[in-house]
Structure 1
Amino acid sequence: MSAQEGTNPKASHNRVSVFPRSDARLKRPLAEPESTVQGTKQGALKLQKQRQGAFTALSKTACNPWGRYRKSFKINQAGRGWVVHANNNTFSEAIIKEVKTTKSELSRVITSPHKNFVELQEAIYYEGAIFLVYEIMDVSLGQIFSSPLGRLQLFEVAAFSREILAGLEHIHKRLKITHGDISSSSILLSVTGAVKIGNLGTSMLQNNDIRDSQSDIESVGNIIIECLEPSTFLRKVGSLVSDWGSNAMNFVESTRTQPASQLLKVSFPSSVS
């Protein structure tokens, strides 16, 4: 997908970008992530250091999760869950999702920190289910698509595609599983512009065969079609119909056969020329 394609007349809405990784001249100003998330730059650096390493220990216990967390309300964050807060002096918020399974499956759940994963903070087994504790995100990509702001521009499509592919490459190469549920609903965003893949804990429990990994990549192509041509997506055509330029159209076709590592070598635009 080339920078030149960002001028396609089909992306007629001249508005600011929702992705801070795109050209700073085209987006609304955002607070510095370290001050927004942690309050200080030192705090952000400390958090980054904590998240380094491929397989950091994850808190896994067998107990009643409702003794540790208090339910606030139900929410759909890449599927149904509960917004909760910790029953301690931190009062920290999270989302809990329940997966019916056996206690032995708890060993499948690990953490592998990556900037494009919704953070899995804890896994708790209780009475025939594992409760997965995730960080709270702000909005799904699907909700962005249906907003009144208008269709995303090509450079924004390239931006979120790259983030999703980076996460999938890690899932496939490091965790050696298939996510199995990549869609605009399972891709989540924060107000600071982070793009993250949701429900990784569920994928670990399902232990989807790595031989099906191409289906994850193909789903990225389907998300692009959903964004640019919603009616084509609903007809399940599987390809872009309108002329978005050869690079964009070839990229979508390549998601049917190429791994994430190969697609990440494509030059993604960062601004409209």
Structure 2
Amino acid sequence: MGELYEHRKTYLPPDLGHFDSPSSRKVPIQPAATIEDSARELQPAGLDNKAFGYATLRPQRVPYQKIWRTTQAGPAIVAVKDVEPLPIVLMKTEKRTANLNLTNLRKASDPHILQLLDFFWDWDNVTLVYEYEHSAASLARLLNAGVRFSEVDIATICHGVLEGLLYIHSVLGIIHGSLKCENVLLTMTGQVKIANIGKAILEGESAKKYQTDIEEVGNIVKELRGPAPRFRGDESLVVKFINKTTTSTATVSGLLKDDFILSAASPWTLKRLIVQILPFGGKFDKYKETQPVKID
């Protein structure tokens, strides 16, 4: 694209407007949902300033243009960064509290997490800027839509989650601390990505508490498996794996070598799961967590 012409100060078209402008003419791209669902779930954020409070962006320092609001592992805003080549990002806001350590913040990048690209804050809020995965769905949304998971599907998903945890524990030196179906995304290419890593970095829980995350992996397996018949003394690979996640000696690297995880398929095989919910758009975003079924 080259350098901007002298009379231009932005790469964005002049009629795009600004998220906080009452005269904004932005219209969100319609998802694969009914018009009624689209109007309810993806209203142009510029029409509802109160939903997000006053603008916390400083345009001269943080060149992001907010476009519309959405839900992807929690409330978020889709935005465009006003630099070449106009990357689309996902912005989330955390209330600034005493237990959040801003000095911990740093960018995080791994194929199995939703990458943290940028961050900034004011007196009240911390804004986290993530990569944007269009049409990615949380495991919670798939469960609510009635999608069924085979044991190979579950092993494939867990392989991606464990790879993400390996990066979080070993490289970032923290735990995620909130690993559940709402925070694990499945992308349109079948990739599994752990979401909301920025909040985990802010909270900065030591990786020494990694057992918390490992137990949550077992809980995710239980959720995805559903109310399948379970018998005392069941020696199936999936039950053995779940039981291992509850032991104090379990490690992420060790679980990656487990026979159940080794039965995983290629990520592209998960595409058929996400295409099942495309006609519903954001209808199943809200998810009420159920209690895991106890295995004897």
User: Normalised by the size of structure 1, how large is the TM-score?
Assistant: 0.66
Superposed displacement of residue 187, structure 1 = 0.5
CA-atom RMSD in angstroms: 2.6
Q: Which runs of 5+ in 1 are unaligned?
A: 1-62, 233-239
Q: Is the 8 A contact 1:106 1:123 kept in 2?
A: no
List 4+ stretches of structure 1 deviating above 6 A: none
In the alignment, does 2:109 pair up with 1:113? yes
Q: Find the counterpart in structure 2 of residue 191 from structure 1.
A: 188
Letter in 1 for 2:69: K
Deviations 1:184-214 (A, max 9, x none): 1100121111111111111010011333211
Aligned-pair CA distance for 1:89: 5.5
The 5 A counterparts of 1:188-267 are 188-229=185-226, 241=230, 245-257=235-247, 258-267=250-259
| Distance across 2 between alignment mates of 1:102 and 1:202 | 12
Q: Distance in 2 between matches of 1:155 and 1:122?
A: 35
Name the count of aligned residue pairs. 200
- Matched with 1:140 is 138
1:123 correspondence with 2:119: yes
Give the partner amino acid of 2:230: V
Kindly indicate whether the alpha-carbon contact (under 8 Å) linking 2:107 and 2:118 is maintained by their aligned counterparts in 1: no
Q: What are the superposed Cα offsets for residues 105-163 of structure 1, whole Å, 9 maximum, x if unpaired? A: 43311234211111111111223322110012211122222334x41111110001011
| Equivalent position SS for 1:262 | helix
| Conserved 8 A contact 1:111-1:120 | yes
Q: SS of the residue aligned with 1:74?
A: strand
Instruction: Give runs of aligned pairs for residues 1-273 of structure 1, distance below 5 A.
Output: 64-65=56-57, 67=59, 68-88=63-83, 90-101=85-96, 105-137=101-133, 138-148=136-146, 150-229=147-226, 241=230, 245-257=235-247, 258-267=250-259, 268-270=262-264
With CA pairs under 8 Å and 6+ residues apart, which has the higher RCO, 1 or 2? 1
